[in-house]
Structure 1
Amino acid sequence: MTILLKEKIDKAAIILLFFIFCLASHPSIAQANGMVTIRGTIKELKDGDSVKLIRYQYPFLLESHDNEIISYAVVKNNSFIFNISLHQKVEKCRLIFPEYLNHLNWQDGMIAPGHHLNISVKENRLSFSGQGAGLLVYNRLLDSITSISGIDRQGKSREKNFEIIVANISKIENIKNQVRSNDDAFSILRLNKTVGLVSTLYSIAERNDLSGKKFMQKKDDELYHQYLKGIFNNIQITSLPIVSISGLIRARFGCLYPKKQNESKLARDKAYITYLKANFKDPLLAQVLASFLYDNRNTDLLTQDYIDWIIKDTDFSQYNSLLKGIRRFSPGTLLPEFSLTDTLGNEVSLSQFKGNVLVLDFWYTGCFACVRTYKIIKPIIKEFEGKPVKFISISEDKVRDVWVKSIHSGLYTDPQHINLSAGKMGNIHPLFRYFQINAYPTVILIDKNGKIIGSPRKSYLDHGMDLKNKVQHSLDENL
């Protein structure tokens, strides 16, 4: 890596850049292979405990929560070690320690093939050294020089927002000239930061009124030729977190083609898919379509025919696990047999409720959105009393006492309702894995014949109207 210094570089940036140079000046190591070594020595760790390394950059590629775990490491002599092979150029990860050290959990980790990283604790905080630490420092440097403080997120100061974003992108380009490395990981971080900045402009405008969208329509040609064309054609684009690039593309679509009055979600989504296929090619096209499918899983829109139309003429081979998972819980699919545990410790099968429309409400203790949703669902439960509808509360809580206490609090459910738990398995219970539950609350409807209906619109967005309508529609269909 070569570092060129210019007079106008901030003194703090120089120090950080020098630190990066010291930590990441061995590109030959980074190119050697896809292996990553992560070592940790933490005196508070107990022998026999396990530390987990979890991938979360590409969750939609995976069939279950279990598969998000990259590796386990067993603690010995207060130390642990991971030797793993990566297939992506940069992966975001989480390092999960035992519960008594969960204040040390590393939530925003970054690892790249060929890097090594040493972890220790200083002043009750994680400390990093080794080549991989250079990537972390570089990311912090990018964050520090591209602050978007001063951005008007209401979207009224449009010209000012535009100037701030463009100025920050210029800073990234300046850093690119200061720090040169043949390690792809560094250029991927720069690309991701640029995508995030441009996405901010479109996202604010998309949430704004029509005048905000019109402003971005005028600026779009300039942004496209200066930044977007290069971003979309960059061979490293599919190495970015999918939420970054798909978020940018969706927000830009929303600005260029504002939603029509009374346009349905299905019509809007089809217009978006058509736009994607007309403007992008594989592998980026397949990745963004995969993101769309993942975001819309469990909804009643993703029928088998609709899925086939979405992926038609696209190389979806990389996303077979996603496709398999989504197809198995598309509307009309018969729900397999699953059993959970009630408050008395009895095993309860969902099939015993066949003949009723089921409303499965997945939650966990401490989930504020779950509390908010239950307030809306509670009166709906009363509306359907005496009808063949069963509202079933399903908790992820692993600790029984915590779960039971939450039931009696009345915040998440009611003691008189059907309350079931995944038990010690938590979110790796087969039912949670089947529906790929990783966001809460999640509400899923099953018809009288045990077939999946899908998820209603989030209750707090429409006061539960979509939930009521879907339940009533299912009852009417089965009269």
Structure 2
Amino acid sequence: MKIIQITLIWLLFISSLNNSSAKQPAITINGTLKGTSILKNSSLTINLYADYIPSALAEFKNSQNCLIDSLGKFSITLNPSAELVYISFSLQIPGQQPVNDLTSSFLVKPFLFSAGDVVNMDLNMKSAKIHFSGKGAAKLNCQALISSVSLPAGITDRVMQLHNQSAHIPAYQLLHESLENLLVLKAGILNSYKDSLAADQYQLIETDMAAEQRFKYLKSLSISYTVSTKVKKNAISTFFNDYLLKSTQLPITSDETLLKSAFALNLAYQMEWLTLNFKYEGQKITLQQIFDHIVTKYKSPIRDRLLLICLLTLAKKEPAEVFKYAAIALKTMDHSKEKDLLINWTTKHTAGSKVYNFTLLDENGKTVRLTDFKDSILLIDFWFLGCKGCTQMPKALEGIMERYKHKKDVKFISLNVDRSRSSWMKGLESGLYHSKGQINLNTGTMGTDHPLIRYYNYNSYPQLLIIGRNQELISSNPIDPRIDQGAEIKSLIDKAI
């Protein structure tokens, strides 16, 4: 029987107020994926975290594999470390974008599971429906139905009409009010399941339901602001300050529930960031401003989680400042879990620390290890097929490669992160993603779930990593050479030589 590999990565968080070491009952999921044409050579991905923090922070993710047969059936048993866990699903089709909550309304991100759940999951890709049966199925079907509720076409059409008429504030008001009314409909679905859900399950689903919707709306406003005309930017700013600032609040619940929630504190951080952004419109918001704002407004443990989110979110943009404020945060934090997570992160990313001992594949399928580059300085460029920014990196690296072309101990690696070898080969054949003189490597079938990528929390591309001749970290996040013409990278390599 033909076997198709499926990677299941599950999202797991441990409540800050529930640190019991008692072993939890296992979760069993028996699944059927329907739609054979889609299943061919595909993988199902689910993301696992030791503690729930923003899902983009990939270094806290672990993976687990299971097999799916030619009939689309699979079975997996998970061993949660907490009573309540989050599990999300994403179908990866080689050469295509993942089918997940971003592209499909029926794949919820994430589902709230309970330890001891034993469920059957029917995932129909053609009808775009998902259904659960078995122990614990009620709360899962509740979440699936809630996620299926969407705005009617008439609302979205009218919003577009208003924008086309430059009536931007009325457009934002209509969309926001319609989304809030949508929460009433979702609450009705949740309430109909009340007798089937434990109190903590009900409270978390209710919190996530409101927080997720509001977070995504604020995120879309933030993105829209960065690419809009001056007139539209003014409209977004006015709408936020005069309307959203008063009406968008965290769900009213306990700190314990907020800390457990998949979305609540992401919403809080996004709200605080936008508050400062529109307060000091036209000025760059500094890490010190958002850091001080959080410290002044919140108390532990919510403050400590928000500081962690803040620092790790801004790590790529302002690495030097993040390390500076991480030291301050560690003195400020009272909550041990957040302190441990921050210490773990800073240890990995501090210059001079040992680099993750990676194993990769070359074009011939031969295994290549970090130890194969002993006594060499490495500049690794991470990319994937279809990444527009990744096609700009080879040109940006030209001057750097030219500078060290006679230095045999300075090596340049082009590291592709596509799961599919065909996608990697297609990228190489195009000549857009790499340069002559680079060593071409790939992360294999693990793709972006490769331990090296998770270790350094790489979740956007292109990305660069510089490693010293003693296999110590020089920089996990140097300044993009498209910004400074490679000045910082040259300085770092010169010092290492």
Overall identity of the aligned pairs, in %: 19
What aligned pairs does 1:290-309 form with structure 2 within 5 A after superposition? 290-297=308-315, 300-301=319-320, 305-309=324-328
Mapped contact 2:360–2:441 kept (Cα < 8 A):
yes
Alignment correspondent of 1:138: 146
* Cα deviation digits, residues 184-215 of structure 1 (max 9, x gap): 31452133213433554566456665994697
> Who is 1:473 aligned against?
491
What secondary structure sits across from 2:181 in the alignment? helix
Q: Deviation of residue 283 (structure 1)?
A: 3.5
Residue 315 of structure 1 and its aligned partner are, at CA, apart by 3.9
Greater CA drift, 212-221 or 282-291: 212-221
How far the C-alpha of 1:470 sits from its partner, in A, is 0.8
1:307-346 equivalences in 2 (<5 Å): 307-319=326-338, 320-321=340-341, 323-335=343-355, 337-338=357-358, 340-343=360-363
RMSD: 4.7
SS at match of 2:381: strand
8 Å CA contact 1:60–1:322 kept in 2: the answer is no
CA distance in 2, matches of 1:425, 1:318: 29
CA contact (8 A) 2:394 2:433 kept: yes
CA contact (8 A) 1:356 1:447 kept: yes
**Deviation at 1:395?**
2.4
| 1:417 alignment partner, one of 438, 442, 454 | 438
**2:133 aligned with 1:111:** no
Alignment partner of 1:228 is 2:249: yes
1:69-80 alignment, distance < 5 Å: 69=64, 72=66, 79-80=73-74
1:277 to 287, 295, 302: 295
Deviations 1:361-403 (A, max 9, x none): 0123444432233343345533553457432212235565654
TM-score, with structure 1 as normaliser: 0.70
TM-score (norm 2): 0.68
Check 1:407–1:249 CA distance in 2 against 1; reply closer, same or farther (3 A cut): same
Could you tell me which residue of structure 2 aligns to residue 371 of structure 1? 391
Q: Which 5+ residue runs of structure 2 have no aligned equivalent? A: 1-23, 195-201
Aligned equivalents of 2:236, 2:356: Cα separation in 1: 50
Whether the aligned pair in 1 keeps the contact of 2:149 and 2:186 (CA below 8 Å) is: no
1:91 to 2:110 alignment:
no
5 Å-filtered alignment, 1:366-405, equals 366-378=386-398, 380-382=400-402, 384-386=404-406, 389-397=410-418, 403-404=424-425
Offset of 1:164 from its aligned partner? 1.7
Q: 1:143 to 1:301 in 2, by over 3 A?
A: farther
Counterpart pick for 1:254 among 277, 285, 303: 277
Once the 2 structures are TM-superposed, how far is the Cα of residue 77 of structure 1 from its aligned partner? 7.9
CA contact (8 A) 2:215 2:266 kept: no
> 2:217: which partner in 1?
197
* Residue 288 in structure 1 maps to residue 306 in structure 2: yes
1:454, 1:224 → 2: CA distance?
36
The equivalent of 1:29 in structure 2 is none
1:167 corresponding residue in structure 2: 177
Give the 3 Å change call, closer, same or farther, for CA 432–234 of structure 1 in structure 2.
Answer: closer
For residue 40 of structure 1, what is the aligned residue in structure 2? 31
Give the deviation of 1:271 after TM superposition.
1.8
For structure 1, the 5+ residue unaligned runs are 1-32
Instruction: Please tell me the residue identity of whatever aligns with 1:41.
Output: T
Max Rg structure? 1
Match for residue 453 of structure 1?
475
Amino acid at match of 2:147: N
Query: 1:418 is matched by which residue type in structure 2?
Result: I
Q: Provide the rounded CA distance (Å) in 1 between the counterparts of 2:154 and 2:351.
A: 44
Q: Hey, what's the Cα distance between the residues in 2 that align with 1:271 and 1:210?
A: 26
Structure 1 residue 119: Cα displacement? 0.6
